[in-house]
A and B are shown apart, each in its own frame.
Chain A
Amino acid sequence: MRRFPQYVALAAYVVFLAFPLLWLLSTALKTPQEMALADPTWIPREPTLANFADAFGEQDLVGAAARSLGVALAASLITVLISLPAAYAMARYRGLVNKIAIGWVLVSQVFPFILIIIPLFMILRDLDLVNTLPGLVVVHVTFTLPFALWMLQGYVRAVPPELEEAAAVDGATRLRSIASVVAPLLAPGVVATLLFAFISSWNEFMFALVILQNPDVMTLPLTLVRFTGPEGVARLGPLAAASLMATIPSLIFFAIIQRRLKSGLMAGAVKG
């Protein structure tokens, strides 16, 4: 058993990675009575879905989920709509602009958010967009844009320009060749970028925290954080259930892109 230590190590990783997840699931399936027991149990004695129903019964949570959905849909659609032409330009006419755009993607990673959020808050306040969902959409679009651009221009680059040239030779106008040749080939990339933008917005917490201070307009991550009060363990079950449900969109996203992850990055060097 030369490989024994390796299996022990792998098991340790699996335990470390899995145990908080299992605990979240376990908490979500427990009754309030069991939550109050002195000795926490791994496996719920009477597994119940009541917590999920309770989470749905909370007006705050349902409203927040609806608002999050609206913001994420609007932000992802706008992001893709405005970054598609720019991505096309970046991929087809390479040059200074392209380098500046890539530089901006990097710079936006390094600068602390506080340097941007304070003036941004002041600008949005002057535009009366603080405490409004459109205000948050604007911010999400702006901050998803660099990475969406980067993704999309990669997809455009993968479409050979010769195809467009061939269409042009056949007498198609530029717009027509884009619509009938480039667009179909670009569709999977556009979907991936849409999903990415949607998830970024759905999960986003920091900007929402600053911009939405009124509980009536808060998005799901904010409402989840406010959900735990000082009243002890009674509401932990519904909180766990709601947290699990808030993860579903991201899980769908990863399920869709996982094949790419697998073939691209996660592929085994050794045949399994």
Chain B
Amino acid sequence: MTATATRPAPPRRPHARPRRVSRQTREMWLLMLPALVPVLLFSVGPLLYGIGLAFTDARNTRNHETSFIGLENLTELLTAEDFWSSFRIGMIWAVSVTGLQFLAALGLALLLNENLRFRGVARVLAVVPWAMPPVVIGLMWKLVYHPDAGILNGLLGTHVNWLADFSLALPAIIVVGVWTGMPQTTVVLLAGLQGVPRELYEAGEVDGAGRWRRFWNITLPQLRPVIVAITSLDFVWNINQFGLVYVLTQGGPGGQTRLPMLFAYEEAFRYRFAGYASMLGLAMAIVVLAALGLYLWRQLRETR
């Protein structure tokens, strides 16, 4: 927000009188009010309420006497086999989807940045997954993986029920995750690539740096801030993923694809343990914030 720094706030103007300041402030609040009310009522409020619920034995039913139970939900969570297996699956999912998505998107962005023929086709295709409703993406891949009518078995000549196989279901949904998330990452990386000053490459060429060296010593360091930003965002989006996997497997088979958010959803809305599920959400939020903080801190330290 460079603009914030360059334009002083109106109240600081030398001619402004205190009364005018208060009028402006009042005007601003009046303009903000219609947006502020729903955000406070249905977003900030519930968030704080949800954090509070994590320390109670709240049930998602009418007529339940809720009482404060401190950290009991947390101890229960940390000793639950289900939670750890879901957490492990969530981590495998988020790390591999984010990583593969990044590598695939970087490759595609580099290609799209070259003067290749048919680049336009690839460009349009690269944005299509972005334009599709997540539910339709899930259903489409269900058709691809369908054990009887799916094209994947037809191509490979196999008879595998991909999404119901204990060891294949997770890799199968990871592929879908990569397909779904590639567009944003590609577009962001491509924009980053185009921001790399051409003079650097020219200088590199003069110094006799080959393609690979130029990529390693010019492109990657220049892209670094963009890479850090987009991989962090991707990680957060992936760890909080719900809809896509719900449509594909509903967490099955036998919980093999039960990401933390699916686990929490089941606890909250099938078994109605609202307090327990809130603690799960809170724990995940803390894990995500910690992972993000550590990652960003390390990146910042290295660039210094």
B92 close to A (CB within 8 Å): no
Is B131 a contact of A98 with CB atoms below 8 Å?
no
**Residues of A close to B163: CB separation below 8 A:** none
Counting chain A CB atoms within 10 Å of each CB, which of B10, B34, B136, B289 scores highest? B136
Q: Which residue of A86, A104, A266, A272 contacts B115 across the interface (Cβ within 8 Å)?
A: A272
Interface centre among B39, B125, B281 (most CB of A within 10 A): B39
Q: Given A14-B122, A86-B35, A20 and B179 touching (CB < 8 A)? A: yes
Contacts of B123 in A (CB 8 A): 266
Indicate if A170 sits at the interface (CB-CB under 8 A).
Answer: no
B300 proximal to A (CB < 8 A):
no
B193 at the interface (CB under 8 A from A): yes
State how many angstroms separate the Cβ of A5 from the closest Cβ of chain B.
Answer: 10
A110 contacts B292, C-beta separation under 8 Å? yes
B285 at the interface (CB under 8 A from A): yes
Query: Could you say which residues of chain A place their CB within 8 Å of the CB of B122?
Result: 10, 13-14, 17
* A143-B278 in contact given A40-B150, A221-B135, A254-B130 (Cβ < 8 Å): no
Partner-contacting stretch, out of B70-78, B165-173, B215-223, B240-248: B240-248
In the complex, the answer to whether A265 meets B190 with C-beta atoms within 8 Å is yes
CB distance from B190 to the nearest CB of A (A): 7
A10 nearest in chain B by CB position: B111
The 0/1 profile, CB within 8 Å of B marked 1, for residues 244-272 of chain A is 10110011011000100100111111111
For residue B179, which residues in chain A have a CB less than 8 angstroms away from its CB? 16-17, 20
Is there an interface contact between B133 and A82, defined as CB atoms closer than 8 Å? no
Nearest chain B CB to A185 CB, angstrom units:
18
B162 CB–A CB distance under 8 Å? no
| A89 & B111 in contact (Cβ 8 Å cutoff) | no
Sorting the interface of chain B by its residue count into under 10, 10 to 19, 20 to 34 or 35 or more gives 35 or more
Q: Decide if A94 touches B7 in the complex (CB within 8 Å).
A: yes
- The residue from B121, B127, B132, B236 contacting A14, defined by CB atoms under 8 A apart: B121
Say yes or no: is A118 at the interface (Cβ < 8 Å to chain B). Answer: yes
Which A residues are CB-close (under 8 A) to B116?
Answer: 3, 6-7, 10
- A258 partner residues in chain B, CB cutoff 8 A: 127
CB distance from B147 to the nearest CB of A (A): 10
Q: Quick one: CB contact mask for A12-26 with B, threshold 8 Å, 1 for yes?
A: 011011111101101
Instruction: Tally the A-B contacts, defined by beta carbons under 8 Å.
Output: 283
A108 interface contact, C-beta 8 A? yes
- A94-B3 contact in complex given A145-B35, A232-B148, A269-B113, C-beta closer than 8 Å: yes
Residue count of chain A within 8 Å CB distance of chain B: 99
- Name A239's contact: one of B121, B130, B139 (CB within 8 Å): B139
Q: Could you say which of B7, B138, B277 contacts A114, with CB atoms under 8 Å apart?
A: B277
B194 contacts partner chain A, Cβ-Cβ < 8 Å: yes
Which chain B positions have C-beta within 8 A of A146?
39
Task: Flag whether B253 is at the interface (Cβ < 8 A).
Answer: no
Task: Identify 10 new A-B residue pairs, CB closer than 8 A, beyond the known A19-B151, A202-B133, A271-B115.
Answer: A10-B118, A10-B119, A40-B150, A97-B32, A112-B285, A118-B53, A122-B60, A205-B247, A228-B142, A270-B113
- List residues of chain A with CB under 8 Å of any chain B CB: 3, 6-7, 9-10, 13-14, 16-21, 23-24, 26-27, 35-36, 39-42, 81-83, 85-86, 88-90, 93-95, 97-99, 102, 104, 108-123, 125, 138-139, 141-143, 145-146, 149, 157, 202-203, 205-206, 209-210, 221, 224-225, 228, 232-233, 236, 239-240, 243-244, 246-247, 250-251, 253-254, 258, 261, 264-272
